[in-house]
Amino acid sequence: VVEDVVDQASILHADLDSFYASVEQRDDPALRGRPVLVGMGVVLAASYEAKAFGVRTPMGSAQARALCPDAVVVPPRMSAYSQASKDVFAVFRDTTPIVEGISIDEAFLEVGGLHKIRGTPTEIAIRLRAEVRQRVGLPITVGVAGTKFLAKVASGVGKPDGLLVVPPGKELAFLHPLPVERLWGVGPVTAGKLHERQIRTVGQVARVGEAALVAMLGAHAGRHLHALAHNHDPRRVRVGHRRGSIGSQCALGRRPRPFAEIEATLAALVDRVTRRMRGAKRAGRTVTLRLRFGDFSRATRSHSLLKATMQTRAILETARGLLTEARPLIAERGLTLVGIAVSNLDTDGYVQLELPFDGPDDDSPLDSALDAVRDRFGGTAVTRAVNLGQDLNPAVPILSD
């Protein structure tokens, strides 16, 4: 009973519609009302006009053009989307301090304690949509419900450019007729397993029983799905989430590549990732090499360092070692994608510098280098004397936060 009283519909899930395509239509009036595809090789986003022709992401551009010959295809402009995302999140934070971003174009907002200041959750949601439209010029759909999960489902059903409120007491009536694919966490594999047993709607999932779902899908997935089908989701909206990994990848196409070219691509990926790590002031300890092959099978190889680092050289050496380890696999199956990710992220780590340093009388290059490090990483640099002439072990930190 207490839960019923407390658990009012106070969670908003705000989700921008066809985000990249909407930004393109906003910035180029000639694209408005027309089918727009963002992405040259593969469709990254399609406007609703294009989706009406059956275009989906990720779909090859050739196929998408076949479905929708009148579509305008534009290259992605990531910096414009990134700025638009920042602008929309500013509107979110003006609405409530409790905002949990879950991707570039969606977030949860907790508006429960704001009744006296800003009105009911529904009133807040109406105003939020108007403000995003007015201040950023983009359409957004908002779902309102008592749990995160249901708010997310509601925004999905409410798209495009809509508002869907699930009032307390009406949750299961809303949820149970929906197809299982609507559940967050049910993808093609899980949906297939459910369909095999003639389970197609959320209501049918709810009637199956937890034990049967666990037998079908495994302990966690089974319990999770059972809980969601009954709208049990105790998760609160959390602020201050930090990413757990930073990575970059590159599709290579089906053409066979010389090993040296793969190594060069890997070096470029590592450079991009370590730059982003330094920009975000995050060091990482586990390096993962991601591979995809001609038959679309995948493999990963990973290695954990003793100490977190954001140094290009240390991560590149590790990545090269992993690539060498995977070389027989690559020769056997043919590589179509290579990627690198760094996880086990920490806020501090080490940076190693090599400096011309003639002796005790010549400490100015060291001082200026330390200043440069402080400027760049914003931390407190601590020096440790190391005789580089004797010991060139790259694992020895000479600077640390």
Partner DNA sequence: TCTGGGGTCCTAGGACCC
Q: Which of 100, 106, 110, 171 is catalytic?
A: 106
Stretch that binds DNA, among 27-35, 142-150, 291-299, 352-360 (CB under 7 A): 291-299
Query: Which stretches of 291-363 are DSSP H helices?
Result: 312-325, 327-333
Q: How far is the CB of 298 from DNA (least distance, A)?
A: 5
Binding of DNA by 41 (CB under 7 A): yes
Q: How far is the CB of 369 from DNA (least distance, A)?
A: 28
In the list 17, 100, 106, 233, the residue contacting DNA (rule: CB under 7 A) is 106
* CA-to-CA separations, 117 to 22, 106, 112, 125, in angstroms, rounded: 32, 24, 11, 14
Stretch that binds DNA, among 25-33, 157-165, 182-190, 196-204 (CB under 7 A): 182-190
Q: Which residue, among 206, 242, 220, 227, has the nearest Cα to 148 in the 3D structure?
A: 227
> Is there a contact between 38 and 32 (Cβ–Cβ < 8 Å)?
no
Is 332 annotated in the active site?
no
Binding of DNA by 73 (CB under 7 A): no
State the Cα–Cα distance between residues 254 and 256, nearest whole angstrom: 6
Binding of DNA by 82 (CB under 7 A): no
- Residue partners of 23: CB distance under 8 A and separation at least 6: 77, 80, 81, 84, 138
Residue 136 DSSP label: T
Q: How far is the CB of 17 from DNA (least distance, A)?
A: 10
In the list 201, 249, 383, 400, the residue contacting DNA (rule: CB under 7 A) is 249
Q: How far is the CB of 145 from DNA (least distance, A)?
A: 15
Binding of DNA by 201 (CB under 7 A): no
In the list 97, 113, 179, 218, the residue contacting DNA (rule: CB under 7 A) is 218
x/- binding map, residues 121-160, to DNA, per CB under 7 A? -----------------------------------x----
Question: How are beta strands 163-165 and 140-145 bridged, if at all?
Answer: parallel
Binding of DNA by 239 (CB under 7 A): no
* CA-to-CA separations, 383 to 154, 346, 359, 367, in angstroms, rounded: 54, 20, 15, 10
Structure tokens of 310?
């954001």
Give, as ranges, the residues between 341 and 360 that touch DNA (CB under 7 A): 341, 343-344
Q: How many CA atoms lie within 13 A of 74 on its CB side?
A: 22
Stretch that binds DNA, among 4-12, 40-48, 121-129, 355-363 (CB under 7 A): 40-48
- Cα angle vertex 136, ends 132, 140, to 5°? 40
Which residues on neighbouring strands pair with residue 250, listed in sequence order?
A: 338
In the list 73, 172, 178, 191, the residue contacting DNA (rule: CB under 7 A) is 191
Q: Give CA 302 to chain center in angstroms.
A: 21
**How many residues contact DNA, by CB under 7 A?**
56
Q: Which residue, among 118, 62, 115, 85, has the nearest Cα to 14 in the 3D structure?
A: 85
Stretch that binds DNA, among 119-127, 130-138, 297-305, 362-370 (CB under 7 A): 297-305
For residue 377, report the phi and psi dihedrals to the nearest 5 degrees: -105, -10
Q: How far is the CB of 344 from DNA (least distance, A)?
A: 6
Compute the radius of gyration of the chain from its Cα atoms. Answer: 25
Binding of DNA by 339 (CB under 7 A): yes
Question: Hey, is 294 helix, strand or coil?
Answer: coil
Q: Residue with structure tokens 């930090």?
A: 242
Stretch that binds DNA, among 120-128, 135-143, 298-306, 379-387 (CB under 7 A): 298-306
State the Cα–Cα distance between residues 210 and 54, nearest whole angstrom: 36
- The residues binding DNA (CB under 7 A) are 15, 19, 39, 41-42, 44, 57-60, 63, 103-106, 156, 183-191, 218-221, 243-251, 272, 276, 285-286, 296-304, 337, 339, 341, 343-344
List active site positions: 106
